[in-house]
Structure 1
Amino acid sequence: MKETLKLLVVDDDEVDRMAIRRALTEGGVQMELSEVSDSNDAFSALNTTAYDCIFLDYRLPLQDGLTLIKQLRSSEIKVPLVILTDRGDEEIAVQLIKAGATDYLSKSRISPENLTQVLRSAIRIYRAEMQAALAQEELIIKIQQLEKQQQQIQMQNFKLLETSQLKSHFLATMSHELRTPMNAIIGFSQILLRPKFAQLTHQQADMVERILNNGKHLLMLLNEVLDFSKLEVGRLDLKAEKFDLSKIINLAVGEMRSLADAKNLSLLVQTNLQNPLVFNDPVRIKQILLNLLSNAIKFTESGEIWVELQELPANRLVIIVRDTGIGIASRDFKRIFEAFRQVDQTITRKYPGTGLGLAIVDSLVRMMGGKIFLESKLGIGSMFKIELPRQIALTNVATEARIALDDNGIFYSAKNPHQSFCQARQTPIGYPKFKI
């Protein structure tokens, strides 16, 4: 060994101590060797000096080696211990190792080779144990730190959740409070524009018309915030009833046609439904379509916008809105469905809006048990496909109606409304695809 080792021999027999000293010297061990004859002197020496290894005679005059080992361990004195035994003490040596000794060697087998080999082995085992213990302590510390961080994260998440709920309640309350005066502004503007009520000059009528249009726009934004707040806190329920889906689609298209005409866009409707009757919330279906059409018109400078209704197997149907607008990059497919998220987040963005429209559409479609599929290419256009069950489940429906569908899609009364729908995902081919 190249390093100088501090060694301690504890043995009451001077001849045995000399044999150990000679064997270590002949074995080429560089050492500082100390010798004591009893356990008291050994314990005192260990309290004042750090040794690299101890050779301990099991049979000592004042106390045996087992007692000394227990005393050392209870005092948290850590050092490799090699027990020196007489013949017939092998079983006792095993007990000593269980108590904390590192190794043992019979005095009859002491030789330079055996003693140096046991010494190297004891030190190597001890250092490995110390490294393992240190690694375990570090691991425990890291686990404690991680547990503390996890507790802090949980506390932060709780605070964030509480803040989000407070924000949602605040937005819902403020949106509701703002709708009342906004409805009054819209109502009085409409009254002022009636020919029988007042004779306005062309300039005055133009100003009132601007007030009315901006009021409607602001009311639409407030309604979006209110709906989103209700969705966040789980207070928005679907009010389902039986209705003609094609009529709702035509009503929504009719409301948006003037905006399309203002940009010289063609707005086409194609219905391929054998049975147009559905069981859903007509107001929310119309809201979904108005949001999709509004986006299509907003982001389309020229060309056409199509609305299609198609049948699907298993009493499902699909609403498709396609446009020839600016398109959406594939990297932004997921982002556009996030609340308050817009592809262009700059203050000087060309297309205004709250960024809630598609988030609300996504939430409503999920509530109805449906799926949204998106296909788009930059500069070519976008297509939104919404697959819905012909009859929505009654989990989130505020209604007492007891209506179900037979295998042919015909409504009939039932005590247990049919609540299952096809979960198969059908992805269209063409543009880059995205489904949520």
Structure 2
Amino acid sequence: MEETLKILVVGTDEVDRMTIRYALTKAGVQMQLSEVDDSNDLFSTLKNSSYDCVFLDYRLLDQDVLTLIQQLHSSEIKVPLVVLTNQEDEQLAIQLIEAGATDYLSKSRISPETLAQVLRNAIRIYRAQMQAALAIQQIRESHEQLISKNQELERQQQQIQKQNLKLLEASQVKSHFLATMTHEFRTPMNAIIGFSQILLRPKCGKLTHGQADMVERILNNGKHLLMLLNEVLDFSKLEAGQLDLKGEIFDVSKVINLVVDEIRSLADAKNLSLLMQTNLQNTLVFNDPVRVKQILINLISNAIKFTDSGEILVEVKELPANRVAIIVRDTGIGIAPKDFKHIFEAFRQVDQSITRKYPGTGLGLAIIDSLVRIMGGKIFLESKLGLGSMFRIELPRQVKLTTVAADTPASQLDSNEVFRSAKNPHHSCSQFSKAQIGYPKFKL
């Protein structure tokens, strides 16, 4: 069904109005047609009702049409305007369009077909203009919303930056506090351990069985507490970026054997087998032996702690690209896959309850992870609940030290530098320790 259009004809000439009415009717336009003969009636009519199109005679007696069109637009009265002129005049047409008319038509060209075509074009153009205006308005509003959101995001970002600065400051204060307190605790703890060892010596007098048992408990608990304090101190240094590697050339298999021998008593106490396999053509590496030993102690101690039966296997082997792998396997309780991503987090343990079966600070693996990254290595975990775990550490045979001071002793230089210096006849042998003088004949 054809749309019924509301049309308004504005003109002082009755004959012109009748001509338009006849042409639209003849063209079969479904319409409700209204007529007014002056500008005042036009304004009141358009304010009280909406129209699909207005035919406006250019020769109104009471007002200039160009001014009238501009007034309509300034009053925000929106309607398609077709201006009827007495002659074909391009300059006038341009002025009408610029003033805000939708289209124009010479009265000499009015016919049912032409008028209907102009009517349809005017409505189509007007609706397209309205859609474009609506789209522009929506774009403008969206742009304003984006500006507002960006401003809000900037405020939030500034707030987050302030909070991050506060958190960083709090973290630095915490790390400094941990380092200070741990250092302060170590002094009396070392005294407790030292006096306990003195009391257990025969020359200090014979203790009763009960007294010796209590002193041994003091000694063992003191050593355990000192180990926990050292973990906290190392972690605070790592977190503050103040832990530096002291590189030197050493035999990694000897260090591993030493650690295994030191910890074997813990495995024997739980009836666990502690095995070691070495598959290295060259056992020399350039690294920090103290920190490598610390990594091994933590890994093997963890394996023993979480294994109730079976064995712990420590393996070291060659890798391509001048690297070595240290692997610790156990037949312990294992780790669930969901806990893999948290296992290297500081103070994190699978069982976080205060009644947990396995004690500790939860810093061991976090320290291992940080030390391995400082050494330029990687750590991998494989585990299944109830079947045990495997920690695999891959390290470069020669670690890169971040800074080397001018007065750094030869034992802390890069291994290649050690080799070059040792082969240079202008250097004195006094620059090197006895253990290092023999190393240059080997190639890492």
Q: Normalization by structure 2: what TM-score?
A: 0.75
Which residue of the partner structure matches residue 150 of structure 2?
147
**Equivalent of 1:359 in 361, 366, 376:** 366
**Structure 2 CA distance for partners of 1:165 and 1:114, relative to 1, 3 Å:** same
| Larger deviation, residues 292-301 vs 316-325 | 292-301
**Structure 2 CA distance for partners of 1:188 and 1:141, relative to 1, 3 Å:** same
Which residue of the partner structure matches residue 403 of structure 1?
414
List aligned pairs for 1:277-288, cutoff 5 A: 277-288=284-295
1:215 deviates by: 3.5
List aligned pairs for 1:385-424, cutoff 5 A: 385-395=392-402, 400=408, 401-405=412-416, 411-413=419-421
1:117 deviates by: 1.9
SS at 1:157's partner residue?
helix
CA distance in 1, matches of 2:279, 2:174: 40
Which residue of the partner structure matches residue 342 of structure 2?
335
SS at 1:333's partner residue?
helix
Determine if the alignment matches structure 1 residue 183 to structure 2 residue 175: no
| Larger deviation, residues 82-91 vs 153-162 | 82-91
1:171–1:225 contact (8 Å) kept in structure 2: no
Determine if the alignment matches structure 1 residue 121 to structure 2 residue 124: yes
Structure 2 residue identity aligned to 1:173 = H
2:248–2:415 contact (8 Å) kept in structure 1: no
Q: Normalization by structure 1: what TM-score?
A: 0.76
Which residue of the partner structure matches residue 30 of structure 2?
28
1:85–1:104 contact (8 Å) kept in structure 2: no
**Structure 2 CA distance for partners of 1:178 and 1:79, relative to 1, 3 Å:** same
Determine if the alignment matches structure 1 residue 106 to structure 2 residue 105: yes
1:135 deviates by: 2.8
CA distance in 1, matches of 2:279, 2:20: 102
1:54–1:79 contact (8 Å) kept in structure 2: no
1:320 deviates by: 0.9
Determine if the alignment matches structure 1 residue 308 to structure 2 residue 281: no
CA distance in 2, matches of 1:325, 1:89: 99
Which residue of the partner structure matches residue 271 of structure 1?
278
Which residue of the partner structure matches residue 426 of structure 2?
none
C-alpha deviations, 1:122-172, integer Å up to 9, x for none? 453244224413432442244134313422442343234223322322232
C-alpha deviations, 1:12-55, integer Å up to 9, x for none? 76655555566667522457x574745x8877877x56846664
2:280–2:316 contact (8 Å) kept in structure 1: yes
CA distance in 2, matches of 1:186, 1:263: 28
Which residue of the partner structure matches residue 170 of structure 1?
173
Which residue of the partner structure matches residue 382 of structure 1?
389
List aligned pairs for 1:5-84, cutoff 5 A: 27-30=29-32, 33=34, 35=36, 37=38, 51=50, 55=54, 65=66, 75=74, 77=76, 79-84=78-83
**Structure 2 CA distance for partners of 1:254 and 1:247, relative to 1, 3 Å:** same
SS at 1:193's partner residue?
helix
2:307–2:333 contact (8 Å) kept in structure 1: yes
Which residue of the partner structure matches residue 330 of structure 2?
323
SS at 2:307's partner residue?
coil
**Structure 2 CA distance for partners of 1:203 and 1:345, relative to 1, 3 Å:** same
Which residue of the partner structure matches residue 426 of structure 1?
none
Which residue of the partner structure matches residue 227 of structure 1?
234
C-alpha deviations, 1:183-210, integer Å up to 9, x for none? 3124223322322446544334433433
1:238–1:396 contact (8 Å) kept in structure 2: no
Question: Larger C-alpha radius of gyration, 1 or 2?
Answer: 2
**Structure 2 CA distance for partners of 1:403 and 1:127, relative to 1, 3 Å:** same
Question: What is the aligned-residue identity percentage?
Answer: 53
Which residue of the partner structure matches residue 434 of structure 1?
none
Which residue of the partner structure matches residue 259 of structure 2?
252
SS at 2:333's partner residue?
coil
**Structure 2 CA distance for partners of 1:29 and 1:403, relative to 1, 3 Å:** same
Flag structure 1 segments of 5+ consecutive residues without an equivalent: 415-436
1:52–1:80 contact (8 Å) kept in structure 2: yes
Which residue of the partner structure matches residue 429 of structure 2?
none
Which residue of the partner structure matches residue 298 of structure 2?
291
Structure with higher helix content: 2
1:304 deviates by: 1.0
1:2–1:30 contact (8 Å) kept in structure 2: no
Which residue of the partner structure matches residue 133 of structure 1?
136
1:8–1:51 contact (8 Å) kept in structure 2: no
| Larger deviation, residues 129-138 vs 289-298 | 129-138
C-alpha deviations, 1:347-387, integer Å up to 9, x for none? 44333333332232222222222112222222211111111
